[in-house]
């Protein structure tokens, strides 16, 4: 999700505002250039955007979410947001990872 932070690695820094991965470029040897293209981001607290991603892509392996986004000043989830993620990932056979 945009603005969330899950550690300092190429696949986790896409759209995080840190490193060249933010620009869609890998910054470590051996990291494929397509890495940023395979990392999809949407606004936090927007379950409709997540549902749209599942409609557009049939190969989403997992959703990674901070249940409370600390990197943006402790933004809590809207009522029903996490449940919607659970339902979407279950329906589409994807993992839901709360980090």
The counts of H helices and E strands in the chain are 2, 2
Confirm whether 71 is domain-assigned: yes
Q: How many Cβ atoms sit within 10 Å of the Cβ of residue 83?
A: 11
Share of the chain above pLDDT 90, in %: 51
Confirm whether 25 is domain-assigned: yes
Confirm whether 4 is domain-assigned: no
Confirm whether 2 is domain-assigned: no
Average pLDDT of 9-26? 52
User: Residue 58 is part of which domain span?
Assistant: 10-98
Query: Model confidence over 64-94: pLDDT tens digits?
Result: 999 998 877 899 999 999 999 999 999 999 9
Q: What's the CATH code of the domain at 21?
A: 3.40.640.10
Residue 24 predicted with pLDDT over 90: no
Phi, psi of 82 (to 5 degrees): -65, -40
Q: How many domains does the chain have?
A: 1
Residue 60 predicted with pLDDT over 70: yes
């Amino acid at each position: 999700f945009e603005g969330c932070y899950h550690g300092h690695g190429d696949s986790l820094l896409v759209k995080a505002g840190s490193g060249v991965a933010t620009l869609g470029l890998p910054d470590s040897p051996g990291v494929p250039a397509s890495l940023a293209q395979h990392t999809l981001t949407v606004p936090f607290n927007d379950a409709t955007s997540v549902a749209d991603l599942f409609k557009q892509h049939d190969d989403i392996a997992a959703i990674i979410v901070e249940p409370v986004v600390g990197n943006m000043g402790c933004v809590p989830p809207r009522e029903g947001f996490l449940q919607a993620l659970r339902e979407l990932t279950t329906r589409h056979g994807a993992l839901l990872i709360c980090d």
